[in-house]
Structure 1
Amino acid sequence: MKFDAVLFDCDGVLVDSEGLTNAVLRDALQERGWTLSAEECMALFVGKTVREERAAIEAHTGKPFSQEWLEEFYQRRNRALEASLEIVPGAREAVAAAQAHAALGIACASGADRFKVEMQLAKVGLMPYFEGHVFSGHEMPRSKPAPDVYLAAARHLNAQPQRCLVIEDSVAGITAGVAAGATVWAYCPAMGHQSADLLRQAGAQAVFANMGDLPGLLAA
Structure 2
Amino acid sequence: MSSPPFPPLPLPPGITESYLPSHDLTYHVLSAGDPSKPLLLCLHGFPELAFSWRKIMPQLANQGYHVVAYDQRGYGRTTGWDTRPFHQVDLNTFSFTRLVRDAVILVNALGYESVACVLGHDFGAVGASSPALPFAITSPNYNQPPSKPDIHSDLAELPEPRKHYKWYYSTAPAASEMDNPKGDALHTFLRGYFHLKAQTGKKTTPNPFTPGPPPN
Q: Please give the TM-score of this superposition, normalised by the length of structure 2.
A: 0.28
Q: Please give the TM-score of this superposition, normalised by the length of structure 1.
A: 0.28
Query: Higher helix proportion, which one?
Result: 1
Identify which of structures 1 and 2 has the higher relative contact order when contacts are C-alpha pairs closer than 8 Å and 6+ apart.
1
Query: For the pair shown, which has the larger CA radius of gyration, 1 or 2?
Result: 2
